[in-house]
Amino acid sequence: MKKTNPTGLKRFGVSLEEDILSDLDELVIKSKFPNRSQAIRSLIKSSIITEKWDNNKIVAGAIVIVYDHHKRELNNKLMHIQHDYHSLILSTQHVHVEHDLCLETIAVKGKAKQLASLADKIIGTKGVKHGKLVMTDIE
């Protein structure tokens, strides 16, 4: 009788040089992975996502920005950019973290290069203090 694996996990052996294994163990500790398998899984997934990004595949992500909403015309500029890319934007969340300081999270989905272009325009807008695009695989 053939055994089935309900979790879909496959086990395999990996051979590594001692110094690379030490680096992996440091990564496990530093990143608080429960074990080496989780660390390896994360590294592989990150590599796959980077490849999809590089190959302009469909990905999802978030653009997170921090800005002073009192900066002249900044809200209008950000809104115009978002309207120009409306087909990529799933939703936005606007949070007031201080009296003048806002944090905005923009959920996005589309070809990686389009998302990067949108993020560059938003993050590069004068008055945005900090921003970052995070993308992930959706398959």
Q: Tens digits of per-residue pLDDT, 97-128?
A: 998 899 999 999 999 999 999 999 999 999 99
pLDDT at 50: 79
Q: Which domain holds residue 44?
A: 18-54
In a shared domain, residues 27 and 84: no
Residue 49 lies in a domain: yes
Of residues 53 and 113, more confidence is placed in 113
Residue 11 lies in a domain: no
Residue 96 lies in a domain: yes
In a shared domain, residues 67 and 130: yes
Nearest to 11 by CA among 35, 32, 28: 35
| Total number of domains in the chain | 2
In a shared domain, residues 39 and 88: no
pTM above 0.75, yes or no: no
pLDDT at 71: 87
pLDDT at 51 over 90: no
62-93 pLDDT, tens digit each: 999 999 988 889 999 999 999 999 999 999 99
Residue 2 lies in a domain: no
Average pLDDT over residues 14-32: 90
Residue 126 lies in a domain: yes
Residue 12 lies in a domain: no
pLDDT at 5 over 80: no
In a shared domain, residues 116 and 68: yes
Last residue of a domain, one of 54, 79, 98: 54
The Cα–Cα gap between 9 and 134 comes to 27
